[in-house]
Chain A
Amino acid sequence: GENVEQHPSTLSVQEGDSAVIKCTYSDSASNYFPWYKQELGKRPQLIIDIRSNVGEKKDQRIAVTLNKTAKHFSLHITETQPEDSAVYFCAASSPGRRALTFGSGTRLQVQP
């Protein structure tokens, strides 16, 4: 089955700096890669997603890149703000297995 690895597990940056979180996946059939932000005790919130027919997607301060050959995808947050502090999860799914396989999560701390 699918295996998603996520790094780093914790990330501390200064306000205004950029943050990058990386994930790798194992199933070459995976074609959907969402990123979620989860605050303590709350549901995961989709912040951006990318499909396998696209190499990059951007939404204001957030961007995701996908390298299908290497089977890895990354989340980029620019001009970080304290309210970006949360746990971020990457995930992957495929047409044959629509359930999401999540990475282990990255705790992002943005220092004011």
Chain B
Amino acid sequence: GAVVSQHPSRVICKSGTSVKIECRSLDFQATTMFWYRQFPKQSLMLMATSNEGSKATYEQGVEKDKFLINHASLTLSTLTVTSAHPEDSSFYICSASSRAGGSFLSYNEQFFGPGTRLTVL
């Protein structure tokens, strides 16, 4: 149980274009999803927290107009990188958790997607 998928796994785009990344919880309802960014040989840095049906909460220094997050259902959150530039090239990872917990879920535990490698040329 507790499987999170992410699509696409890898994307290469031209500077100035927009890229959408999907994060899905496959076997549980994710009341909260988190988006992280990881640069090479660095740690995971939280970008934003999204709760189903409400606006995302962005971390300081993360531009909400550039990184659009939508959490329209309990199983899907999307991150759109708008007007991408080479400095946006990174590994983007989502995670999901359930506030309700459950038979196999812990209140605190987060389940990570496989990540999306974004390369902006």
Q: Spell out A's residues near B (CB within 8 Å).
A: 31-32, 34, 41-46, 49, 51, 89, 93, 98-105
Known: A51-B108, A100-B110. A41 touches B117 (CB 8 A): yes
Using an 8 Å CB-CB cutoff, how does the interface string of B30-72 with A read, 1 for contact, 0 for none? 0010100000001111100100000000000000000000000
Chain B residues closer than 8 Å to A93, beta-carbon distance: 108
Chain A residues closer than 8 Å to B97, beta-carbon distance: 98
Q: How far is the CB of B58 from chain A (nearest CB, A)?
A: 11
Further pairs besides A34-B108, A42-B115, A102-B43: 9, Cβ < 8 Å: A34-B109, A41-B115, A41-B117, A45-B112, A49-B108, A49-B109, A89-B43, A89-B44, A98-B108
Q: Tell me if B112 and A43 are in contact (CB < 8 A).
A: yes
- The CA of A45 and the CA of B93, in the complex, are separated in Å by 12
B interface SS class? strand
Q: How far is the CB of B68 from chain A (nearest CB, A)?
A: 19
Which 5 residue pairs across A and B have the least CB separation, nearest first?
A32-B108, A43-B112, A102-B43, A102-B44, A43-B114
- The CA of A103 and the CA of B103, in the complex, are separated in Å by 29
- The CA of A49 and the CA of B110, in the complex, are separated in Å by 11
- The CA of A55 and the CA of B110, in the complex, are separated in Å by 21
Q: How far is the CB of B119 from chain A (nearest CB, A)?
A: 13
Q: Tell me if A104 and B110 are in contact (CB < 8 A).
A: no
Residue of A nearest to B47 (CB): A99
Q: Tell me if A43 and B93 are in contact (CB < 8 A).
A: yes
